[in-house]
Structure 1
Amino acid sequence: MKSSLVLIMVLSGLGFLPSSFSKFYIYVKQYMSWFNAQTYCRTQYTDLASVQNGQELSQLSQLIDSRLHVWIGLCPDPDSWRWSLQNPVYYGVGEIGFRLWAAGEPNEAYYHKACVAMGSSGEWVDLFCDSIYPFVCYDGTTGTFVFVNQAKSWINAQSYCRQNYTDLASVRNQADNDQLVMLASGNPWSTHIGLYRDSWKWSDGSSAPFTNWDPGVTPTAAYVDMCVASYQGKWINIACNAQMYFVCFVDLAMRKHVVRVVMKNNDSSVEMEELKDDILQKFAQALQDQGLTVDLHLGWVTLPNENVFYAAS
């Protein structure tokens, strides 16, 4: 049962039990690279630590030494292309995956964030998001595209479109692409469209809408051999082969565990079954001594003969 797993981890001095009782963090004080830490966490627990909200960030921050660089589970995902306009109603079957890459594109595989522009031929290229080009917006009110002949970065173009129209243009099919080519005709430069890649994800496969980047870090310009560590309460990207402590987690909502406790009885006159409640109380006291103050219920698994303990051969 869950409580047995929690008991062993906290007594080892490596764990933190969240009040929600769904995710359990384990601080592992062994130096490993990010990938070796990932393998360790997946073998011993669930995975490297993921953080989905402020409460989990607080739990993690209380557990680790903020003076050290400590691996967490955020890592690159170079294949995660998506449109700025996220409304699923706008896309028909298969349209969200429409692509018209030029030969050899996309080629910015070494960067976590890349943005897309359309050339005069109508084919697409990926580029740095701070590249300055005109752009095409989509106006959801009229259902039309609008060419904006102002040179802006992709991010600034996105902001402009969202403030004045609906969003940067999504290209759902060849007909949409042909419209954009006509609108941008005469433009000697490339034209920003709404496709981009922001490829951070958690090791357990979950998305990363919640982040806690250090203000001095530019994660969008990080190479794919960079992974993420917590340092002084913020996240930074560091070469994945660096040797650091790390944090694993156990998803208690998905996994149930029973832990066998081996005890030695040196007094044959003592009946262990009569002491089972006292033993649980001592376990509970040990948890309190480790600083665990949440409501925790421990219990024994009863054997078919209605006993808890049995004599080992």
Structure 2
Amino acid sequence: MNMTVILMMILSGLSFLPSCSYRLYILVNTQKTWTDAQTYCRSKYSDLAIVQNVKQLAGLNQLIGSDQYVWIGLYPDIGSWRWSLENQDYYTAGGARFRNWASGEPSAGLSYYKACVALLKTGGWVNKPCINQYYFICYNGKTAKSTSSSFIFVSKPMTWVNAQRYCRQTYTDLASVRNPTENEQMRKMTVFTNTWIGLYRDSWKWSDGSPVSVSNWGPAAPTGTFTDACVASNLGRWTNTGCSFQNKFTCFVEPAARKQVVQVVLEKSDSSVDMEELKEEVLQKFSQTLKDQGLEEDVRLSWVEGPDGKIFQKIKRPVP
């Protein structure tokens, strides 16, 4: 009997590993402050609830439902300061990082998400609630190359946000301070104890220190009042509220990754093809198949090499 031999390639191993999108959330009905909830979650699980993609956000929202004020692991990044004037061409080397904090500043006691910076008569800087009303200093880019000053003192007390709006509408922006010379120039303009400049903090991070990549804020949040620092889910949307309030909370745990190795037989019609050279292309084909099945975010693929360091081994299988 005649037999046709088809050359086959068998994978030494294709490894399937769940990705970080697979995360288990736990709703704890005990009432605790945000800090105590964080301590509890870290002792019992991994941490307060953290989401890094829309799939995790959907899972967390499904667990919490329409409950009111349930802590999640989001809080203000108190070290993230930036200037209102964002044009990087304006800043000399290191100029955007210049700071002249007064003793004891920035105050860690102001643990709310948004804080703004005022210049003292002494030349030092302090962080203040942005809703305070002070005189302020604008920057006028149109006069930067002329003989007149590019800094304008405005003797109209306003909140920081309103001062920013005024400077942008009338001149260029609130003043940035790039070096000691400019700081001294502005110090001489000050009349009262506090004068707004363009430095502020308005950012968030997760309990584990990771940045925020997805957002679920309600229409009125974050509000930025004094004690509004930590974040809770309220009726399905995020809102900032006082960290000292006692609420239910959500923890998360990363299940131990379960690695599974499978063997797959591939047929090639051209015996001259080197499958080792095509291993990345083959892996991409498998990944695309998983994506088409909606599993791409849950599984990570990698090759498992054989004892000889190769992925593929030749086998012969008779076909009638």
TM-score by length of 2: 0.61
Aligned partner of 2:200 in structure 1 is: 196
Residue identity in the other structure for 1:131: N
Could you tell me how far 1:75 is from its partner in structure 2? 1.6
Aligned partner of 1:177 in structure 2 is: 183
**What SS is found at the alignment partner of 1:195?**
strand
Give the Cα separation in 2 of the matches to 1:240 and 1:41.
22
Q: Is the 2:27–2:249 contact (alpha carbons within 8 Å) kept by the matching residues of 1? A: yes
Cα–Cα, structure 1 residues 216 and 2, in superposed 2: closer, same or farther, change >3 Å?
A: farther
Give the Cα separation in 2 of the matches to 1:203 and 1:38.
10
Give the Cα separation in 2 of the matches to 1:159 and 1:152.
10
Residue identity in the other structure for 1:295: G
Residues 1:295 and 2:294 are matched in the alignment: yes
Aligned partner of 1:75 in structure 2 is: 75
Higher strand share: 2
Give the Cα separation in 1 of the matches to 2:151 and 2:71.
44
1:27 to 25, 36, 40: 25
Aligned partner of 1:137 in structure 2 is: 138
Q: Is the 2:28–2:251 contact (alpha carbons within 8 Å) kept by the matching residues of 1? A: no
Aligned partner of 1:14 in structure 2 is: none
Could you tell me how far 1:175 is from its partner in structure 2? 1.1
Cα–Cα, structure 1 residues 31 and 3, in superposed 2: closer, same or farther, change >3 Å?
A: farther
Cα–Cα, structure 1 residues 192 and 108, in superposed 2: closer, same or farther, change >3 Å?
A: farther
Residue identity in the other structure for 1:244: K
What per-residue deviation string (whole Å, max 9, x for no partner) do you get for residues 5-51 of structure 1? 37xxxxxxxxxxxxxxx7344322345713332565548xxx73235
Q: How many residues align?
A: 250
Could you tell me how far 1:56 is from its partner in structure 2? 6.6
Give the Cα separation in 2 of the matches to 1:167 and 1:138.
5
**What SS is found at the alignment partner of 2:196?**
strand
Could you tell me how far 1:145 is from its partner in structure 2? 1.9
The gaps in structure 2 that reach 5 residues or longer are 1-13, 31-36, 145-149, 264-291, 312-320
Cα–Cα, structure 1 residues 241 and 160, in superposed 2: closer, same or farther, change >3 Å?
A: closer
In the TM superposition, what are the counterparts of 1:1-313 in structure 2 within 5 Å?
5=18, 23-31=21-29, 33-38=37-42, 42=46, 48-50=49-51, 57=57, 60-67=60-67, 69-107=69-107, 109-112=109-112, 113-143=114-144, 144-182=150-188, 184=189, 187-208=191-212, 211-214=215-218, 219-223=223-227, 227-236=230-239, 237-239=241-243, 242=246, 244-246=248-250, 248=252, 257-259=257-259, 295-296=294-295
Could you tell me how far 1:193 is from its partner in structure 2? 0.2
Could you tell me how far 1:135 is from its partner in structure 2? 1.0
Deviation >6 Å, runs of 4+: 297-306
**What SS is found at the alignment partner of 1:155?**
helix
Give the Cα separation in 1 of the matches to 2:109 and 2:139.
28
Give the Cα separation in 2 of the matches to 1:169 and 1:228.
31
RMSD: 4.2
Cα–Cα, structure 1 residues 139 and 248, in superposed 2: closer, same or farther, change >3 Å?
A: farther
Give the Cα separation in 1 of the matches to 2:109 and 2:192.
26
Residue identity in the other structure for 1:165: Y
Q: Is the 1:82–1:197 contact (alpha carbons within 8 Å) kept by the matching residues of 2? A: yes
Q: Is the 1:95–1:172 contact (alpha carbons within 8 Å) kept by the matching residues of 2? A: yes
The gaps in structure 1 that reach 5 residues or longer are 7-21, 262-272, 274-292, 307-313
